[in-house]
Amino acid sequence: MGEPMPVKEGAGPNKSAGHLSLLSLPILTCRMVLRTPNLGDAEQIRIALSDHRLTRWFSRNYPPPKRKCAVALVRHIIAARESGEYLTLMCFDRTSDKLLASVGLSGFDWVNRNAELGYWVTAGKWGKGLATEAASALCARSFKTLNLHRIEAQVFPSNHASVGVLTNLGFVREGASREKQLKGRTWFDLEMYGLLRKDFKG
């Protein structure tokens, strides 16, 4: 999980429902600083996204990015936040500034106050609760500042660690879409999880 998703119908800036410019950054957690990346972070991002152990869980095929592609990705992330299209935050260790994870929101539907959550953790840092920590912080800030009513997430059924993150935060499994995602020549099922503001366990 974690790569940007297509914008849904009804998405885009709407001041009556909140806008990404209202979301104050960075967000601090016990172990991490969650912030929009800058060009100096491109190499760390490139290294993280070059690891197949991570990208095999993404919903789309993701070839290892070259340096120029990582720089372009950072620029696109910055522009997307400024336009309100989607939000991607990189999560850095508060002491070493080493990239540990990423968390973001996309698919904004400001009319119905919905968004979709995505996240990933660098392959060498799994099993430490970093995804839960980052996702919890972003959900809490988004429910409060952006006035969201519901946050959704999609996950491969076999990604048990990601399912655990969602259930820990109060997400509820709402169903499955059979063979919804094509990766290479293989169709994969996706499970849908939803979190209402009132059920958030952050």
CATH topology of domain 20-149: Aminopeptidase (3.40.630)
Residue recorded with tokens 């991570």? 54
User: 113: which DSSP letter?
Assistant: T
Per-residue pLDDT, 56: 85
For the chain, domain boundaries? 20-149
Q: Which of 67, 74, 73 is nearest to 43 (CA)?
A: 67
How is residue 136 written in tokens? 């919890």
Please say if the pLDDT value at position 6 is more than 60. Answer: no
Q: Do residues 114 and 14 lie in contact, with contact meaning Cβ atoms separated by under 8 Å?
A: no
State how far the Cα of 54 lies from the Cα of 49, in Å rounded to an integer. 7
User: 20: which DSSP letter?
Assistant: G
Q: With the C-alpha atoms ordered 94, 76, 23, 143, is the resulting torsion angle positive or negative? A: negative
Q: Which of 178, 184, 29 is nearest to 95 (CA)?
A: 29
Please say if the pLDDT value at position 118 is more than 50. Answer: yes
* 3-class state of residue 66 by DSSP: coil
Which one is predicted more confidently, 190 or 62?
A: 190
Per-residue pLDDT, 64: 67
Per-residue pLDDT, 104: 97
Q: Which of 87, 56, 43 is nearest to 184 (CA)?
A: 56
Note the pLDDT tens digit of each residue in 126-151. 999 999 999 999 999 999 999 999 99
In 45-201, the DSSP E strands lie at 87-93, 99-109, 114-121, 150-155, 172-183, 186-196
Q: Mean per-residue pLDDT for 185-195? A: 94
pTM: 0.88
